[in-house]
Chains A and B, each alone.
Chain A
């Protein structure tokens, strides 16, 4: 069960059971993006508030499997406080990492690095990606 253990890492399970920055706000200062995965019904909403060129706050809400929900939680923790440019680079790098594309190991993904195991499960790449894609869209929508 090596690869399964590699997928269900402790940090992932911790964020699944105790999600951080969960719950949406009605503050108009936040940009909101909702992404659905129509093939499995997973659905994640991400909210981002910018502050002085940094990610001032990032929140999430949704339903889905452990990989989907935990990655939303990890994403918010990773992003809060990051300068915009770094946030972009980290998200792009993360998405490349989970989908098995070349990525820059010099970019520090922090806790999100534990999702490297997703590469071995092509069917789960989408689960690990949608919160991060939603985050990038909140930056574009601004």
Chain B
């Protein structure tokens, strides 16, 4: 059996099942579990409030994570807002920045490749503000291209909201070029990096991006915590969308003022344990060799893809994907029927529309299966997956599908 240097760090990994639903949520390393556990065992106390040890130490870890996140994506700590996840982060941008800045006749560029959370908040802004949603025409592989983007960019473009890596197709968007083009027209760019931050180094300064969102739980961290990066000048100008505890400066009967960025966006008690766990996840990434991990993931994906291509009765929708995702169907078998077979064989896949109905419609299907590989998956996982596909094809053929 091949030696995978990371696999042993993940207690949920067992010999019995094959976890290939990493694009939905990653497994958590022991160090993240320990960090969360320590908060609940030793440090349960609110942050920014108490002067006793537990509260002080919890606050220190909470703010230390902000610095870790900032460093991880080359931002300043004041530009890092804690949210419930990428969805909440993208909604915050739309509900605050979008509602304040977008006006009648403005255009918001999105794409059919987006996760619902990258397009629906803007659909709402467009409908309230009488602005226009404009879709980037995708190419024949359903990719966002520079030509496609150029064809919809105009002086009316106010906001560009696009995904950096597609959660179904695994395609990487040429984002640096798109941002430069958008800025030349005065548009602001919001990037959904939920599928990107665990696969490539992110440098928000070099990208020159205005907003960038991601979730903790897809990058080895806990659920319930996500990050919104925002350019300081935008965050400073934005109004909070939630009011309450901890975010205030001075409260009067009729008018109040808020703390500075980013605290004015963090009303109430935040998921402190999850924040601290996210800090441990970033420690894990910092201690690891991302290039090596990514190279391994791609080799496993390619190994599987090469074998899948040879199985009659399998359609693959994203043969050229750059990341570890394979979107596919067994011909004539509804993905929910197929995924039950995989589940019985303890191969964990995702079946459905993957929160990307616009893309699924564009592909001309009702739903599909998605296998998403990560660095802790082995070639043996790949073999079992391929064998299970072959078995499934046989099973459904034998019962008359």
Q: Which residues of chain A have a CB within 8 Å of any CB of chain B?
A: 1, 3-4, 7-8, 13, 17, 39-42, 63-68, 121, 123-124, 127
Q: Is the interface of B mostly helix, strand, loop or mixed?
A: helix
| With contact pairs A65-B336, A123-B343, A127-B336 given, residues A40 and B353 touching in the complex (Cβ less than 8 Å) | yes
Whether B343 and A13, one on each chain, are in contact in the complex, defined by CB atoms closer than 8 angstroms, is no
Known A1-B344, A66-B337, A121-B340; judge A40-B400 contact (CB<8 A). Answer: no
A4 touches B340 (CB 8 A): yes
Q: Please, how many angstroms separate the alpha-carbon atoms of A8 and B395 in the complex?
A: 10
**B395, A17: Cβ atoms closer than 8 Å:** no
Task: Give B residues with C-beta under 8 Å from A.
Answer: 334-337, 339-341, 343-344, 351-353, 357, 360, 366-367, 395, 399-401
Query: Which residues of A lie under 8 Å from residue B351 when comparing CB positions?
Result: 40
Q: Are B334 and A4 in contact (CB under 8 A)?
A: no
Interface contact B344-A13, CB-CB below 8 Å: no
Closest chain A CB from B356 CB (angstroms): 11
| A-B pairs with beta carbons under 8 Å apart, 9 shown | A4-B341, A4-B395, A17-B400, A39-B352, A40-B336, A63-B366, A66-B334, A67-B337, A123-B343
- Asked if B336 and A7 sit within 8 Å, CB to CB, the answer is no
Taking CB atoms, residues of chain A closer than 8 Å to B399 are 8, 13
When A and B form their complex, what is the total count of cross-chain residue pairs whose Cβ atoms lie within 8 Å?
49
Tell me whether B352 and A41 are in contact (CB under 8 A). yes
Query: Known: A1-B344, A40-B367, A41-B366. Contact between A66 and B401, CB under 8 A?
Result: yes
CB closest chain-A residue, reference B366: A41
> What separation, in Å, do the CA atoms of A98 and B340 have in the docked complex?
16
Q: What 16 new A-B contacts, CB under 8 Å, besides A1-B395, A4-B395? A: A3-B344, A4-B341, A17-B400, A39-B352, A40-B336, A40-B351, A40-B352, A41-B367, A42-B336, A64-B334, A65-B335, A65-B336, A67-B336, A68-B336, A123-B336, A123-B339
Cβ-closest chain B residue relative to A3: B344
A3, A17, A40, A64, most chain B CB atoms within 10 A: A40
What B residues does A66 contact at CB under 8 A?
334, 337, 401
CA distance A121 to B339 in the complex (A): 11
Most interface-central of A3, A4, A65 (chain B CB within 10 A): A65
Smallest CB–CB gap between B12 and chain A, Å? 19
Q: Which residues of A contact B401 (CB under 8 A)?
A: 13, 66
In the complex, what residues of B have CB within 8 A of residue A65's CB? 334-337
- In angstroms, Cα B353 to Cα A68, docked, is 17
Q: Which residues of chain B are within 8 angstroms of A41 by Cβ–Cβ distance?
A: 352-353, 357, 360, 366-367
Nearest-CB distance from A69 to chain B (Å)? 8
A39 to B352, alpha carbons, bound, how many Å?
7
The answer to whether residues A123 and B353 also contact, given A40-B367, A41-B360 and a CB cut-off of 8 A, is no
Give the nearest-CB partner of B360 in chain A: A41
Q: How far is the CA of A3 from the CA of B341 in the complex (A)?
A: 10
Contacts of B400 in A (CB 8 A): 13, 17
